[in-house]
């Protein structure tokens, strides 16, 4: 599949004013479904593009029509299913990214539980992370900037708390 392009400016402008419901192109509800030729074989694929995004959120196989040559046309039911599938895919991706960039460990300092968080800032040039400690009332006890590669674990969190919240090595 080589045609991974988003909607043209004309199509995007038209989608902002009206919904498009053509056999191979639908725009509605913040999404565009475009039927594209699958260059890997003789079949067809559908690309789901969220409004404002440069790349498709999801590309999947599309059913052949009765003539076994052209794609089956899009219809309301198929479009609704495609939007639900693509939305769920985007939601799972966002959850996975959040889980990779934000970690939390709870440790005890002997008197109370302390929540230690690591929030990675994925800057293209200078990525870093913020290591923070909060008490049970969610009051911030400390925060230091650390390398984005810092590994938060119960042991590293306890060592940071026990060390008086000094910046880890």
Whole domain around residue 78: which residue ranges?
9-100
> Does some domain include residue 169?
no
From first to last of the 169 residues of the chain, give the pLDDT tens digit: 444 444 444 444 444 456 899 999 999 989 999 999 987 777 899 999 999 999 999 999 999 988 988 999 999 999 999 999 999 999 999 999 999 899 999 999 889 999 999 999 988 899 999 999 999 999 999 999 999 999 999 999 999 999 999 998 7
Given the structure tokens 């046309």, which residue do they identify? 73
Residue 50 and residue 13 in one domain: yes
Q: Report how many domains make up the chain.
A: 2
Residue 94 and residue 115 in one domain: no
On whether the CB atoms of residues 11 and 66 are closer than 8 A, the answer is no
Residue 122 and residue 81 in one domain: no
Q: Which two tokens stand for residue 151?
A: 């590994």
Task: Select from 77, 100, 123 the last residue of a domain.
Answer: 100
Q: State how far Cα 61 lies from the chain centre.
A: 21
Task: Select from 50, 80, 100 the last residue of a domain.
Answer: 100
DSSP type of residue 20: E
Residue 89 and residue 116 in one domain: no
Distances (CA, A) of 59 to 44, 72, 74, 85, 165: 10, 16, 15, 11, 47
Task: Select from 57, 75, 100 the last residue of a domain.
Answer: 100
pLDDT in tens, 130-145: 999 999 999 999 999 9
pLDDT the model gives residue 10 = 44
Q: Burial level of 25, CB count in 10 A (0-12/13-18/19+)?
A: middle
């Amino acid at each position: 599949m080589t045609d991974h392009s988003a909607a043209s400016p004309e199509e995007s402008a038209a989608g902002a004013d009206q919904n498009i419901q053509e056999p191979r192109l639908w725009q509605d509800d913040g999404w565009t479904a475009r039927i594209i030729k699958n260059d890997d074989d003789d079949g067809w694929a559908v690309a789901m593009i969220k409004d404002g995004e440069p790349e498709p959120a999801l590309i999947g196989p599309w059913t052949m029509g009765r003539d076994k040559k052209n794609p089956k046309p899009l219809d309301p039911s198929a479009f609704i299913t495609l939007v639900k599938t693509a939305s769920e895919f985007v939601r799972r991706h966002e959850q996975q990214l959040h889980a990779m960039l934000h970690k939390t460990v709870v440790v005890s300092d002997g008197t109370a539980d302390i929540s230690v968080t690591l929030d990675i800032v994925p800057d293209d040039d200078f990525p870093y992370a913020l290591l923070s400690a909060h008490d049970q009332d969610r009051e911030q006890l400390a925060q230091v900037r650390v390398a984005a590669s810092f590994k938060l674990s119960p042991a590293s969190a306890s060592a940071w708390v026990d060390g008086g919240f000094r910046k880890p090595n």
